[in-house]
Amino acid sequence: MNLKNLLLIGVLTLGATIAMAQPRAEYPRPQFERSEWVNLNGEWNFELDLSNSGYSRKLHKANGLEGKIIVPFAPESSLSGVGHVDFISSVWYQRTVQIPSEWKGKRVKLNFGAVYYQSEVYIDGRFVGRHYGGSDSFSFDITDFVADGAPHSLVVHAESDVRGQLQPAGKQSSRYESYGCYYTRTTGIWQTVWMEAVSPCGLERVQVLTDIDQSTITVIPTFYGLEGGNRLRINLTDGNKVVAKADVVASQGLPVVLKVKKAKLWSPESPFLYGLTYEVVGADGAVLDKVGSYAGMRKVHIDGTRIMLNNKPYYQRLVLDQGFYPDGIWTAPSDEALRRDIELSKAAGFNGARLHQKVFEERFHYWADHLGYLLWGEMASWGMNGNKPESARNFLSEWSNILVRDRNHPSIIVWTPFNEEWKVPNNEGGRFYTDAYNLTRQMDPTRPVNTISGGIYVISDFCTAHSYQQDGDKLHKQIFDGEKFYQPQGPAQEKYPHAINKLTYVGGVPYVLDEFGGIKCAETQPKDNNSWGYGDAAPTREDFYARLESLVKAITAHSDKVCGFCYTQLTDVEQEQNGVYYYNRDTKFDMERVSAIFRTPAEGYEQ
């Protein structure tokens, strides 16, 4: 038997093993949890549609397909049981669903954590809805398409074109192979699919605003519908003790203010979370909807050249986290894997992460909230052509959905719409970037916006820059001695003279070196000739420690000017092997030494 067949048997065996225990069985929306739900992860029927003939073959009406796949893992991944890594333009999924009879009288919501990129849903051949976006969550009300207790054929179709320059694609490779800092693609369903029962007058979402200066938590509710006499009850708890509550008329979008006495604040050192329970109560006193949640009271704001947490300067020691996994690609193999990544990062001396070119699932934010871990939320912005209006439209609509979904997580302290945009696009230059900045501020005015990480500076709340200089003394000179990094030329410079990126600290606003390092160590991968890092590889681990220490000290020596850093990166990712851990999360270095370096004291900061 040849190696190819052995590998195929291995993949199929792995898929069968996964099917025995439902993958990713935890509730996927931990800040908005209902008890009546059905997880649809597991084995689905599946078919690659590389010729885009599925509609002609009436696959949207299918009751079965040629192959199998394990959802929520993308077909490119080994955990899916498919492992097709070539370009995938179109895929089809099918399974039977049955609505529990006890859900009678409620609306049935079909929810998707994320499907890359354009998706359509059919039930028994009838079109239910279409969604554009590869990283945001969405749902359809399927009540009118199903009958209680009856089986129905659910079909999901997804299309992707990462080479078309219209989709936010992040680090998905536009070549057949992975190369440079581009990696294996993700197509189709890559997060949990589930159904839940909701009252017609249930909560659709809430926005939670915490004010530590006035000791209040404000809840802004959005309901699916309203009926006369409905009320909204909110309980805020500390353990089993109710510390604040409200009972108000259910009103669309009207704030409900909870006064919190002796408020306990959330921080990485003390990640305290209050419990929250929302109940929609009918005129007859019956509970129509009940949702479990939590909130962390904390404040993030800018004061001069400092980023403040809970009214104190807070030095950010971040790591670049790309959220890739050898077996799941964009999808973590388990909930425990999400938690472990944060624990590994903290063990390496970091107090947070810049989530890089990927929108992480809510379960990751849940663990960051509970473990005390700062996050910069970032859009998977690479892959688009900013000169094309359709590209900008795709980006802005998806980004707005992400902001609404994730803005209640206390761990997220900065939004970053773009990464390394170096050109002012022709369609009125900075308009796209300015629109993204304004949209972000309008939808969440509570967090600073780092509009473009390390790229041109058009409009932003603070300044960031990237440098992979491998010599500490030279890095120090870059930052403090006046090296100009980028400035547009010609008409662009005349229209947007402020569109400039300087690696040099310019004062007036906070400055974070939010990409540096990227050191590859030859001793840790002596036989891998295709791997790479930034600059020449450190020959030995000892050389790695020395170089790392010189770079970190070059930054922390002037904490009065630079208020944080982000090191590249947490783990190796495929051919890019410059992580402080291996791709499989095994230990690469003496983590006590690494942690001590990243925790180098920054003058003027408590931690």
Residue appearing with tokens 């693609």: 185
Mark which of 198, 228, 251 sits at the end of a domain.
Answer: 198
Q: What's residue 531's pLDDT?
A: 85
Q: How does residue 15 score in pLDDT terms, banded at 50, 70 and 90?
A: very low
- Is 442's pLDDT higher than 70? yes
Q: State the DSSP code for 537.
A: P
Identify the CA nearest to 132 among candidates 175, 84, 164, 105. Answer: 164
Neighbour tally for 477: CB within 10 Å: 15
H/E segment holding residue 16: helix 3-20
Order of strands, sheet of 126-132, starting from the edge strand that comes earlier in the sequence? 67-71, 42-48, 90-98, 151-159, 118-123, 126-132
**33 part of a folded domain:** yes
Task: Please name the residues in contact with 4: beta carbons below 8 A apart, sequence gap of 6 or more.
Answer: none
CB 505 within 8 A of CB 561: yes
- Please tell me whether residues 8 and 94 are part of one structural domain: yes
DSSP for 542-569 reads HHHHHHHHHHHHHHHTTTTTEEEEEEE-
533/572 Cα distance (integer angstroms): 10
Q: How far is CA 109 from the centre of its chain?
A: 23
105/23 Cα distance (integer angstroms): 30
- Please tell me whether residues 283 and 343 are part of one structural domain: no
**480 part of a folded domain:** yes
Q: What's residue 6's pLDDT?
A: 38
CB 410 within 8 A of CB 374: no
- Please tell me whether residues 269 and 379 are part of one structural domain: no
If phi > 0 it is left, if psi is from -120 to 50 it is alpha, else beta; for residue 515 that is beta
Q: How does residue 494 score in pLDDT terms, banded at 50, 70 and 90?
A: very low
- Please tell me whether residues 508 and 536 are part of one structural domain: yes
Expressed as residue numbers, the domain containing 505 is: 300-598
Residue appearing with tokens 């980004």: 399
Q: How many domains does the chain have?
A: 3
The half-sphere exposure of 547 on its side-chain side, counting CA atoms within 13 A, is 22
DSSP for 250-291 reads --TT--EEEE-TTPPBB-SSSB--EEEEEEEE-TTS-EEEEE
Mark which of 273, 295, 317 sits at the end of a domain.
Answer: 295
Q: How does residue 8 score in pLDDT terms, banded at 50, 70 and 90?
A: very low
Question: Which residue type does 241 have?
Answer: K
- Is 490's pLDDT higher than 50? no
CB 273 within 8 A of CB 286: no
Identify the CA nearest to 448 among candidates 267, 273, 306. Answer: 306
- Please tell me whether residues 243 and 176 are part of one structural domain: no
CB 69 within 8 A of CB 81: yes
CB 183 within 8 A of CB 328: no
- Is 254's pLDDT higher than 70? yes
**204 part of a folded domain:** no
Least confident of 59-73, 146-160, 486-500: 486-500
Identify the CA nearest to 432 among candidates 162, 514, 440. Answer: 440
H/E segment holding residue 338: helix 335-347
- Please tell me whether residues 285 and 305 are part of one structural domain: no
- Is 482's pLDDT higher than 80? no
Q: What's residue 586's pLDDT?
A: 97
> Beta strand pairing status for 203-211 and 118-123?
unpaired
Q: How does residue 495 score in pLDDT terms, banded at 50, 70 and 90?
A: very low
Tokens found for residue 324: 């890739």
**332 part of a folded domain:** yes
Q: Is the peptide bond before 569 cis (omega within 30 degrees of 0)?
A: yes
Residues in the chain: 607
425/456 Cα distance (integer angstroms): 11
Q: How does residue 126 score in pLDDT terms, banded at 50, 70 and 90?
A: very high
Q: What angle do CA 543, 548, 550 make, to 5 degrees?
A: 100
- Please tell me whether residues 224 and 181 are part of one structural domain: no
pLDDT, one tens digit per residue, over 108-125 is: 999 999 999 999 999 999
Q: How does residue 3 score in pLDDT terms, banded at 50, 70 and 90?
A: very low
Query: What CA–CA distances, in Å, run from 251 to 209, 222, 288, 370, 431?
Result: 17, 8, 15, 31, 36
- Is 71's pLDDT higher than 60? yes
Percentage with pLDDT > 90 across the chain: 81
- Is 7's pLDDT higher than 70? no
**422 part of a folded domain:** yes
**205 part of a folded domain:** no
Q: What's residue 506's pLDDT?
A: 60
**90 part of a folded domain:** yes
308/267 Cα distance (integer angstroms): 12
- Please tell me whether residues 102 and 237 are part of one structural domain: no
Q: What is the pTM of this model?
A: 0.93
Q: How far is CA 35 from the centre of its chain?
A: 25
- Please tell me whether residues 284 and 319 are part of one structural domain: no
Helices (H), 129-262: none
Q: How does residue 402 score in pLDDT terms, banded at 50, 70 and 90?
A: very high
CB 315 within 8 A of CB 559: yes
Q: What's residue 525's pLDDT?
A: 87
Q: Which is higher by pLDDT, 493 or 573?
A: 573
- Is 187's pLDDT higher than 70? yes
**208 part of a folded domain:** no
- Is 84's pLDDT higher than 70? yes
- Please tell me whether residues 275 and 419 are part of one structural domain: no
Identify the CA nearest to 361 among candidates 375, 351, 346, 348. Answer: 375
- Whichever domain contains 8, its CATH number is 2.60.120.260
- Please tell me whether residues 308 and 451 are part of one structural domain: yes
CB 321 within 8 A of CB 579: no
- Please tell me whether residues 284 and 309 are part of one structural domain: no
Mark which of 272, 295, 318 sits at the end of a domain.
Answer: 295
- Whichever domain contains 258, its CATH number is 2.60.40.10
Q: How far is CA 433 from the centre of its chain?
A: 20
First-residue to last-residue Cα distance in the chain? 59
- Whichever domain contains 385, its CATH number is 3.20.20.80
